[in-house]
Amino acid sequence: MADNIPIKSVLIRDGHVETDDPFNAIPALEAFDNHNAKDSVRLPNDVDLDRIKPHLGGLETVLIDFPVLSDGRGFSIARELRKNYGFKGQLIADGPLIPDQYVYALQCGFDAVRVDEKTYMRQSESDWFSAMDAFHATYQRGYAFKNGPAVSIFDARKTSQHGQTSNDLYFGLSAEQSLKRAISEYTGGIVLASSLGVDSAVLLHMVAQIDKSVPVIFLDTGKHFRETLGYRDLLVADLGLTDFRNVIPDRADLKKLDPKGTLNETDPDACCGLRKVAPLDGAISGFAARITGRKRYQTPERRDMPILETGGRQVKINPLAYWTAKDVTAYMRKHDLPPHPMLALGYLSIGCQPCTTRVAEGEDPRAGRWRNHDKTECGIHYINGKWVPIPDKKTYEVF
């Protein structure tokens, strides 16, 4: 980016920075109420999509407001427009987004992000393009070129305003440093619960490099893909993990609550409670700290997630909190780690077989989980174009 060139706003799209801003005059949602709809519209992040549903066929461009970087409701609106409303035009995320949010925006169906001059100049072009590359190089269709050169890892910590002022004692540490410190501080009282999903090899490898005796828990729900179980055995053997614990649901509970093995078809929440939540709760209850693979970019609710998460009954260490999808791929390549065999078949987020489907082009990575159900791992859902809280419904945060 050339110095001393004033930029009011920029559009970041397809590897290019566009300084011509064609979106200043896009009308707000009120234009529809005035029967003056054009081919473009700007939507607030609390929009009721039913208001514009009749007009979507004639719209070419939709801008979605992101008033602050910590408000991620626009991501859910984009997913809803693409998945349930079939919108085929261009979607633009407009607001003070940062590079580590760019990947998630693309995964949710946005074509570009529009940021103000101050936000854009806080980063370098390489930061934006490194983040952008992640969408094309990782989850889209598997870890291609596994043995290719490792790429530089974008570190989102430097763009996190929240992290700079938080009480996170691990802020600023790399993933490896976070793990080393946690394993040292919680010796004998720390556990890693692994789903053996598409990202799992990263943390398993990191832990094995530090201490192969750290307990690792895997929930064998009885509903996994055979490929997942084979992947489990491969990684445990290759990495030399010495305390791998295969946890199964209580057989008496299975016989009582799911005698036919079809509970997932009628009540997926109850099935998760029976096969995942209850066994995991029992397996980790004696540990003071738990290592997770959660990342900030994955959901709006995780946007400000710290590396060291305290305050609950169990400390959580999230070493990959600031990682992007590109970082995961870079680590997999660098250490020549085998990808999950289902990844190349279009399964970008892998759970139990009955509740996991392939992800189509343009869908976000978790679109294949509990498809056609309201169930997510969040306590608030975006249903039929509206924000709908789910009262008194237990959140099943598995891995």
pLDDT in tens, 182-218: 999 998 899 998 888 888 999 999 999 999 999 999 9
The Cα–Cα gap between 172 and 175 comes to: 9
Rounded distance between C-alpha atoms, residue 188 and residue 167, angstroms: 25
CA 366 to chain centre: 8
Q: Judge whether 10 and 19 are in contact, CB under 8 Å.
A: yes
Name the band, by pLDDT with cuts 50, 70 and 90, for residue 121: confident
Averaged pLDDT score across all residues of the chain: 75
Instruction: Tell me if residue 272 is catalytic.
Output: no
Burial 345-356 (b: 16+ CB within 10 A, else e): ebbbbbbbbbbb
Q: Where in the chain is the domain with CATH 3.20.20.70?
A: 9-137
Structure confidence at residue 367 (pLDDT): 64
- Catalytic choice (108, 271, 352, 378): 378
Q: What 3-state DSSP class applies to 381?
A: strand
CATH 3.40.50.620 boundaries in the chain: 168-389
- What is the tens place of the pLDDT at every residue in 343-359? 777 777 788 877 877 77
Residue 387 has pLDDT above 60, yes or no: no
Written as one string, the DSSP assignment of 325-359 is HHHHHHHHHHTTPPPPTTGGGT-SS--BGGGB---
Can you tell me which residue has the tokens 């997630």?
305
Three-state DSSP at 15 gives coil
Higher-confidence residue: 248 or 73? 248
pLDDT for 63 beyond 70: yes
Is the pLDDT score of 165 beyond 60? no
Please say if the pLDDT value at position 302 is more than 90: no
- 168-389: which CATH architecture? 3-Layer(aba) Sandwich (3.40)
Q: Picking from 37-51, 174-188, 229-243, which range would have the lowest pLDDT averaged per residue? A: 37-51
Read off the pLDDT of each residue in 245-272 and give the average, rounded to a whole number.
88
User: What mean pLDDT is predicted for residues 171-180?
Assistant: 87
H-state helical runs in the chain: 30-33, 73-83, 99-107, 117-121, 125-137, 161-165, 175-185, 200-210, 226-239, 251-257, 263-266, 268-272, 278-284, 325-334
Nearest to 108 by CA among 284, 339, 367: 367
The single-letter DSSP state of residue 161 is H
Q: What is the dihedral of CA 344, 350, 355, 360, to 10 degrees?
A: -40
Q: How far is it, in rounded angstroms, from Cα 310 to Cα 275?
A: 26
Interval 226-243 mean pLDDT:
92
Which residues, 6+ apart, have CB-to-CB distance to 194 below 8 Å?
Answer: 200, 203, 204, 216, 217, 218, 293, 399
Superfamily for the 9-137 domain: Aldolase class I (3.20.20.70)
Least confident of 142-146, 175-179, 368-372, 391-395: 142-146
Output the pLDDT for position 52.
83
Instruction: Tell me the one-letter amino acid at 288.
Output: A
d(CA 128, CA 135): 12
